[in-house]
Structure 1
Amino acid sequence: MRHTDFVRAALTVILAACCQPAFAKCGGVDYSWGADGLAKAHDFVITILLYVVYVCYAVAGIVSVIASLQIYFKINAGEEGWKKEIMMVVGAILFIIGATVV
């Protein structure tokens, strides 16, 4: 038997012996507060989700204003490709709004 095999076998025995007390503690947990804790976690997640949706709407509004100004300047300068820019902005805003719905 090589030294590494002996060390591996010894570690396996030690870890198996250490895990037994951890398994024994699993049955002593009081789950009577579980429903209240789950309800509080649900309320917290929904509240945070609403804030994330509002932030996404704000980002969509800011992107639309800035992109609209850029498109306006591009049209006044007589540059080409402003139709493509409009389609990209509309697609980006629809994606942000659609992602918040999903």
Structure 2
Amino acid sequence: MKRFHWALSALVLGIPIRASAKCGGVNYSWGADALASMHDYVVTMMLYVLYLLYAIAAIVAVISALQIYIKINAGEDGVTKSIMMLVGACLFIIGASIVFPAFFGYQI
């Protein structure tokens, strides 16, 4: 087994490895177009995600409001907790839709 390792090592070390590095100046202009197209893609996706968050928030708000209404009519405990959770969720969605784009320097 030791002989096999030595033979394999000699074979690997004996094979010349071609270097693929470029010598001299490197042209980075090809990356500018890719960066610009990625920027446009991210901004477009950010708009779609924001609209999706608005739709999900609207559905959750309606369901939470119905649950609060049912709890109030049934006389259950925890109505205040449900109301605070609904208000907190709405504030988070509003804050996230303002803060997240502003974090990346965009106004939507």
Q: TM-score, normalised by structure 2?
A: 0.67
> Once the two structures are superposed, what CA deviation does each residue of 1:2-33 show, in whole Å capped at 9, x if it has no partner?
83xx47x829x838x67x43x42x42886433
Over the matched positions of the two proteins, sequence identity in percent amounts to 54
Q: Aligned to 1:36, which of 23, 33, 37? A: 33
Gaps of 5+ in 2: 101-108
Task: State the SS of the aligned residue for 2:71.
Answer: helix
Q: TM-score, normalised by structure 1?
A: 0.70
Q: CA RMSD in A?
A: 3.2
Gaps of 5+ in 1: none
Shift of 1:71: 0.3
* Residue in 1 that maps onto 2:22: 27
* Residue in 2 that maps onto 1:14: 12
Q: How many Å separate the matches in 2 of 1:66 and 1:99? A: 21
Q: How many pairs are equivalent?
A: 95
CA separation of 1:87/1:32 partners in 2, compared to 1, >3 Å: closer, same or farther?
same
The amino acid across from 1:27 in the alignment is: K
CA separation of 1:33/1:71 partners in 2, compared to 1, >3 Å: closer, same or farther?
same
Shift of 1:37: 1.7
Shift of 1:53: 1.1
Q: How many Å separate the matches in 2 of 1:10 and 1:97? A: 63
Shift of 1:94: 2.0
- 1:82 is aligned to 2:82: no
Q: How many Å separate the matches in 2 of 1:75 and 1:86? A: 11
Shift of 1:65: 0.7
